[in-house]
Structure 1
Amino acid sequence: MGTRPRFDLSGRAAGLIGQRLLKLPPALSRNVTVERDLRIPTHDGQTLLANHWAPADASSGAPTAVVRTPYGRTGPLDWLYGRALAERGLHVLTVSCRGTFGSDGDFRAMRHEREDGLSTLRWLAAQPWGNDVVLTGSSYLGYTQWAVAAEAPAQVKAMVPHVTSSRLALSFLRPDRFEVETLLGWSVSTATQERPGGIWRALLGIGRKRVREAMRTLPLVDADTAALGHAWPFYQDCLHHDQNDPFWKNEDHSPAVGDVTVPVSSIAGWYDIFLADQLRDFQVLRAAGRDAHLTVGPWWHGHVGGMAAVLGDTIGWAAAHARGTEPPRKPPVRLFVMGVDEWRDFDQWPPTGYTGQRWHLAPGGELHPAPSPPAPPTSFTYDPADPTPSLGGPKLESRGAGPVDNRKLEARDDVLVFTSAVLDADVEVIGEIAAEVWLRADRPSCDLFVRLCDVDGRGRSLNICDDLVKVRPDGVTRVTVALSPTAHVFRRGHRIRVQVSAGAFPRFARNLGDGGPSHTATEPRATTVEVFHDAGHPSSIVLPQRQLAG
């Protein structure tokens, strides 16, 4: 039982503003109804609460979009998915995940989404408006799609996962590395979101300072207590179990991606935190011969352009599948190529026609296509008491994410910079990028952060892609870093730049240099790192590139 369906008039202005902001197709009607607090039984006797939005004049053949969320059924998500989609001819079922916003049970991130999702679909099949279903949503809402995708019943006709992956938080749990900004920030946000004004406080960044201070807590295992006043289960689970731990077996849906037969349109961003995993999910689908499409824009996690894309594909492509009509044509891969700011279509990811070109780190901060002559290494010192800061790039929070001017960062003594000569022709780079760096360190453990930048004619250095790996040096050690993929044209008159450092805090937890587990370390120790760049140790970055005419 829930409230009776009623016309929702209060959100018409929000619907109109959202249409203009997100550049959505025109509404079919502003007259929509909403039935709140429907009760959905789960397989184990719990109850989930949901809202049902519908066009006031919806026919029984209108498809239903299912959105499962831990973030509540009111506020921004309410009109973004509920009203926006209902105004364009869809039923919408927004379901609060277990343990959130009135749904029974305790919220344990990722743990119950498969069974609760299948319970939701069984309940929906018994509703007169629940026969033709599409799954949609961003981030955690996208993960809830993957949780049921491989076992989805026939009523599910399409899915549109946006800035997400089939294993979600496991992306951040590589052995010996901890992405504290994302994991602690999200833990605090979900722990406090049901307090008065919680959702709006999170969106406005209220309380951000306390969380950032907590990220410096030593040992790191106490950071959640510093931020919240008590431990938080998800944060502790992440600290104590890396992505290879069987602890996460039921939460990792990546092994079943190839079994998904539902048509999938994946929406990603070049600066999104889930990009690499989302591309792998797409590749697995295509390798299995599935109906899969990929769109990657110049977006970060909360970018309005990505939100517009997921809603557009839900209204058009996915709803057409559900209605049994011909969906709009979509190429297998559609990429926004940065630098020239244009969309291009491809047959696959990564595209063919791009070959790896090595750009070698050279003495004096130079970057050359040819190896360097013999030269001594270049060294720097990383001090975890004054850690190399993170700047721009992939962030869970939109504020400060994406491409930013790196010159202030590059002026630090703990950041090495290697820059090419001015390009006499455009260099197009599309695909997977890797760096090989030969280094030596005077501590048993250090981190290696590598970033690719585009330097324009005015000297602005904009970050393109990057990543960090944990290193346990054994003398002079070769270290490989798989940077996030990209599609970018370095224009004639620009320069290619590579940064090398030993940290990016608070995006990544500080390496204290003692070689022990990062979550129990308490004593910061400075580390001197030597980077080698001679013929015997050819440190380089490999760019999948195509040379273009000048």
Structure 2
Amino acid sequence: MNLNSHLVQRLLRLPPPLTRDLTIERDLRVPMRDGAVLLADRWAPKSGGDGLPTALIRAPYGRAGLTAGPMARPLAERGFQVLIQSTRGTFGSEGAFDPLRREREDGLDTLDWVIRQPWFGESMILYGSSYLGFVQWAVADALPPQVKAMIPGVSESALTLDFLRGDAFSLETPFVWGVQVAGQERPLAMPRQLLRAKKVRRALRTLPLAQADTAALGHHDDYIQNILAHDAGSPFWQGLDHRHRVPDIQVPVSSVGGWYDIFLPGQLRDHRAMQDAGHPLARLTVGPWAHISMGVGQTAAAEALDFGLALARGEEPAERAPVRLFVMGEEKWRDFPSWPPPGYEPRRFHLQPGGALSTEAPAGSSPDGYRYDPADPTPALGGVRMAFGEQAGRVDNAALEARPDVLTYTTSVLEEDAEVVGEVSAEIFFRSSLPHADVFVRLCDVDADGRSTNVCDGLISLTGADEITPATVTLWPTAYRFRRGHRIRVQVSSGAFPRYNRNPGTGEPRATATTLRTADQQVFHDPQHPSAVLLPVRRTRRQASSYVQPEAREEETRTSPPERVTVNRAGSPEA
């Protein structure tokens, strides 16, 4: 009995395979245009494997263990032969590993090599998540006709760049990923990574940040130095941005994402670009998942076998709506014709005096205030996280909302369900005692017991914040139903560390800043400064009056420990 096969089948919730008897050809040599040779393994049934549709997986994380088991095996057992290749400079492949930079050229060379092999049949698909999805986007506008489908999961066409925005530097993900890949080929790499997770978190507090890689690894790392030195708009990253290719993609694409995934905004942007270009077969599935989630792997495998294999065989995949979303709160899957779906109109929920939130315009009032200390930064709690040892997704926010540097604004009890699906943003009229400050906004659902659970959030860094500034904050998109009897809450603070780098308040470059300055922050909510969160709401007639009345903040009594609401987290630590 093949225990690995049975375990993967159970984990991915797959039907029984056609065969569990596989053969693996290891260390196939794939030549690149510059003379470098990349290594690949071919998984196929022991009998009848030649000529089957090929699933191509290109990965920087090796060709065994957590990559090969959950990804190559289930496909090779159910109708594909699978070629899994180590990208340049990793796990025996020649050349230097310069993350993300050579994936277009190397990907196109690999495709040319595959279709010339004697075991290749007539078709292939591209498959994989995160970095393994990015390598698909890098070549997607120049695919040979033998490629019949792409299945990218939790990924997008400009992978790193959204983290490196000058107005919202997301520190944790690229730093932790850089530490991971720097040591991934050492013996016992996974246990080592788990054991040093606390050390890595401590390193994120290093000043200056340019020394944080040395604190975590014992030496400087080129990738980490580059993310600290170059913003997203720098010419340094130009070769990593494949957004301009997306409208020209012709191959069918089934993209899998999560509401708490680090790449969700870019993934939805890519889907919309194909949608707007009239792509004939682009579909999107978004579940209640974070980046490292078993649900992502289960859904991506199902799409490869249902959508990808049908197309590779020249068949029509089962018909379904272009967009399938898990509506949180309702806890149900729903189908929609597009992203964002029609029928949801932006509605302003205004911050009010006394910690209230309503659709009425605010009355005259004094601003609320709090003190932000970057030496004790407002922490990231749940939500969009990828770090080991950190809980991602939906969590109880009691500890966060009890902090003096977090303001909350809450509606009255909803008399009807309020369904929010689409892009979420906020406009916060803000002033700091310092010219440099951050505004972090989080949308939460408060249940009948007073438990506050995060829905989505976002941050913007301001310059000139010592004058009253309308801070426009783009939150993560969402699909959420706020239930009757619940309340809608908005948090406002000045950070979510270490997901976002703490703002030192000095304006120094992030790599070299050494001074931390405490700031006094103000949030305005009056007729001249109508701070609000903008929610795409589908309303019934009764809902028009069910959450418009402001309600002063009331103290909440929790008589029992709050229940944690989380997404499942499992699978590979790949980014």
Task: Flag whether TM exceeds 0.5 (same fold).
Answer: yes
> C-alpha distance in 2, partners of 1:326/1:252?
32
- Give the match's secondary structure for 1:250: helix
Does the 8 A contact of 1:181 with 1:508 survive in 2? yes
Helix, strand or coil at the partner of 1:36? strand
Q: CA deviation at 1:498?
A: 0.2
The answer to whether 1:341 aligns with 2:331 is yes
- Residue 500 in structure 1 maps to residue 492 in structure 2: yes
Instruction: Give the Cα separation in 2 of the matches to 1:145 and 1:200.
Output: 30
Is 1:512 aligned to 2:501, yes or no?
Answer: no
Task: Determine the structure 2 residue equivalent to 1:215.
Answer: 204
Q: Percent identity?
A: 53
Q: 1:69 aligns with which of 45, 51, 59?
A: 59
Distance 2:416 2:8 in 1: 42
| Whole-angstrom distance in 2 between the partners of 1:352 and 1:47 | 49
1:318 aligns with 2:308: yes
- Counterpart CA distance in 1 for 2:96 and 2:106 is 13
Task: Report the counterpart of residue 195 of structure 2 in structure 1.
Answer: 206
Q: Alpha-carbon deviation of 1:176? A: 4.3
Instruction: Return the letter of the residue paired with 2:264.
Output: L
Alpha-carbon shift at residue 206 of structure 1 (Å): 2.1
Supply the distance in 1 between the matched residues of 2:324 and 2:250 (Cα, whole angstroms).
21
CA distance in structure 1 between the aligned counterparts of 2:266 and 2:320, rounded to whole angstroms: 22
Task: State the partner residue of 1:6.
Answer: none
- Give me the whole-angstrom Cα distance separating, in 2, the residues matched to 1:100 and 1:294: 31
Q: Where do 4+ consecutive residues of structure 1 move more than 3 Å? A: 199-202
Q: 1:158 aligns with which of 149, 152, 156?
A: 149
- Pairwise mapping of residues 27-426 of structure 1 onto structure 2 (< 5 A)? 27-130=17-120, 131-202=122-193, 205-290=194-279, 291-397=281-387, 399-426=390-417
Partner SS, residue 135 of structure 1: strand
Report what 2:459 is aligned to.
468
Is this contact kept in 2: 1:270–1:298, CA < 8 A?
yes
Distance 2:48 2:415 in 1: 59
Q: What is the CA distance between 1:474 and its match in structure 2?
A: 5.0
2:5 to 6, 11, 15: 15
SS of residue matched to 2:363: coil
Instruction: Give the match's secondary structure for 1:150.
Output: helix
Matched-pair contact (CA < 8 Å) for 1:176–1:517: no
- Which letter maps to 1:232? D
The alpha carbon displacement at 1:59 in A equals: 5.0
Q: Distance in 1 between matches of 2:309 and 2:51?
A: 11
- Asked if structure 1 preserves the Cα contact closer than 8 Å seen for 2:173 and 2:499, the reply is yes
Question: What do the CA deviations read for 1:420-450 (whole angstroms, capped 9, x no partner)?
Answer: 1111110000011110000111111000000
Q: Who is 1:546 aligned against?
A: 538
In 1, distance between residues paired with 2:201 and 2:372? 20
**Matched position secondary structure for 1:34:** strand
Q: Secondary structure at the match of 1:449?
A: strand
Cα displacement (A) at 1:516: 2.2
Tell me by how many angstroms 1:57 deviates: 2.5
Query: Does the CA contact (< 8 Å) of 1:392 and 1:402 recur in 2?
Result: yes
SS at match of 1:451: strand
Does 2:447 align with 1:456? yes
Aligned counterpart, 2:418 = 427
Q: Deviations over 1:161-198 (max 9, x none)?
A: 00000010111010143222111100100000101011
Q: Which segment drifts farther, 521-530 or 129-138?
A: 129-138
Q: Secondary structure of the residue that 1:123 maps to in structure 2? A: helix
Counterpart residue identity of residue 525, structure 1: R
Measured after TM superposition, the shift of residue 200 of structure 1 is 4.7
Deviation at 1:338, TM superposition (A): 0.5
* CA-CA distance at 1:128 after TM superposition: 2.5
Q: Give how far 1:60 is off.
A: 4.0
Q: CA deviation at 1:243?
A: 1.3
| Matched residues, number | 538
Q: Which residue type is aligned with residue 38 of structure 2?
A: L
In structure 2, what is the equivalent of residue 3 of structure 1?
none
Given residue 497 of structure 2, which amino acid in structure 1 is its aligned partner? F
- CA–CA separation in structure 2 for the residues paired with 1:467 and 1:126: 47
Report the 3-state secondary structure (helix = DSSP H, G, I; strand = E; otherwise coil) of the residue aligned with 1:533: strand
Superposed CA RMSD in Å reads 1.3
What is the alpha-carbon distance in structure 2 between the residues aligned to residue 240 and residue 330 of structure 1?
Answer: 45
**Counterparts of 1:174 and 1:261, CA distance in 2:** 30
Q: Secondary structure at the match of 1:225?
A: helix
Q: String of CA shifts for 1:6-37, please: whole Å, max 9, x gaps.
A: xxx8xx21111111121112211111111111
Q: Is the 8 A contact 1:61 1:323 kept in 2?
A: no
- Provide the C-alpha distance between the structure 2 equivalents of 1:176 and 1:234, rounded to a whole number of angstroms: 20
Tell me the alpha carbon deviations over residues 39-62 of structure 1, each in whole angstroms, 9 at most, x when there is no partner: 111110001111100022335441
1:175-228 per-residue CA deviation (whole Å, 9 max, x = no partner) reads: 1432221111001000001010114544xx221011001000001111111111
Q: Match for 1:188: what amino acid?
A: V
Q: 1:140 to 1:200 in 2, by over 3 A?
A: farther
Structure 2: gaps spanning 5 or more residues = 544-575
2:79–2:309 contact (8 Å) kept in structure 1: no
> Is the Cα contact below 8 Å between 1:22 and 1:308 reproduced in 2?
yes
Structure 1 Cα separation of the partners of residues 192 and 29 of structure 2: 28
Cα deviation, 1:59-84, whole Å, max 9, x if unaligned, reads 54411000000000111111111211
Q: Which TM-score applies when normalising by structure 2?
A: 0.92
Amino acid at match of 2:14: L
Residue 531 of structure 1 deviates from its aligned partner by 0.3
**1:528 aligns to 2:520 (yes or no):** yes
The Cα shift of 1:529 comes to 0.6
In 1, Cα distance between the equivalents of 2:125 and 2:535? 38
Q: Which moved more, 1:214-223 or 1:177-186?
A: 177-186
The answer for unaligned runs of 5 or more in structure 1 is: 1-8
The residue identity in structure 2 corresponding to 1:356 is P
**Partner of 2:430 in structure 1?**
439
Contact 1:301–1:397 at 8 Å: present in 2 too? no
Report the Cα distance in structure 1 between the residues aligned to 2:54 and 2:262, rounded to whole angstroms: 29
TM-score (norm 1): 0.96
Taking the aligned partners of 1:200 and 1:225, their CA distance within structure 2 comes to 20
Asked whether the 8 Å contact 2:395–2:454 carries over to 1, the reply is: yes
CA pair 300-125 structure 1, distance change in 2 beyond 3 A: same
With 389-398 and 48-57 compared, the bigger mean Cα shift is at: 389-398
- 8 Å CA contact retained: 2:436, 2:466: no
Mapped to 1, the partners of 2:57 and 2:195 lie a distance apart of 27
Q: Structure 1 residues 188 and 298 mapped into 2: Cα distance closer, same or farther (>3 Å)?
A: same
Letter of the aligned partner of 2:34 in structure 1? D
1:475 aligned partner, one-letter code = E
* One-letter amino acid matched to 1:456: D
Aligned AA for 2:349? W
Deviation for aligned residue 1:289: 1.2
Which amino acid in structure 1 is aligned with residue 70 of structure 2?
L
Change (3 A) 1:330 1:404: same
Bigger mean CA offset, 434-443 vs 18-27: 18-27
